[in-house]
Amino acid sequence: MATPMSGEVRAEPNLTPLLDVVFQLITFFMLCISFSQDTIDQRVRLPVASSARPVEASKAGEDRLVLNVDRYGRLLFNGQMYDTEGAIHQIDIQAQLVRLSAKVSGVKLNEAEGLPTVVVIRADRDTPFSQWHRLVTACQDKGFRKFALKTMTAPS
């Protein structure tokens, strides 16, 4: 076998380990990323309102809590279905998490202004008002003061 006579030594790096690490990082971030669509439950048929506006661009760092309520007034949250008492318990847990997060990050909360989280309520058009009112009242009791109600402009 003939070899080149130039005396040059060529070194080529082995890229296989680098590619393995890159693919593992991509997989890790794909599994950890949270898409905003994850909180939308397709079983909820939103009410129609002619004055509905498109969603405003969220502010940087704005925290949102999306609550889906089915036609029977049950809370659909994190893939689980909760009755009224379970929903109130979940809202309490979320309020505690917001307070803990603020404490860890060093943010001073003003109890008069309430928690900085915006509660987005996606209630089914057939949800009884009494159930919807209980949910909003429970949120207010736990310290949430900012609310948004989602509707659609045209029936689906």
Residue-wise pLDDT for 79-94, tens only, equals 888 888 998 999 999 9
Structural domain of residue 112, as residue ranges?
Answer: 36-149
Question: For 10-28, how does the pLDDT look when each residue is reduced to its tens digit (9 = 90+)?
Answer: 888 888 898 999 999 999 8
Q: Tell me: the pLDDT tens digits for 57-69? A: 555 557 888 888 8
Asked if pLDDT for residue 2 goes beyond 60, the answer is: no
Domain-embedded: residue 5: no
Work out how many domains the chain is built from and give that number: 1
> Residue 7 falls within a domain, yes or no?
no
On whether residue 9 sits in a domain, the answer given is no
Give the model's pLDDT for residue 110.
Answer: 79
Q: Decide if 130 is inside a domain.
A: yes
Contacts 24+ apart (CB under 8 A), 36-40: 39/66, 39/68, 40/66, 40/68, 40/122
Q: Is residue 13 part of a domain?
A: no
pLDDT tens for residues 127-137?
888 888 888 99
- Contact between 81 and 75 under an 8 Å Cβ cutoff? The reply is yes
Please write the tens of the pLDDT for every residue from 97-127: 988 988 888 888 877 778 888 888 888 888 8
Q: Does residue 121 form part of some domain? A: yes
Structure tokens at 53: 């506006």
In a domain, 53, yes or no: yes
First to last CA, the chain: 74
In a domain? residue 123 = yes
Examine the pLDDT at 155 and tell me if it is beyond 60.
no
Torsion over CA: 28, 30, 36, 40 (sign): negative
Q: Which H or E element spans position 89?
A: helix 84-105
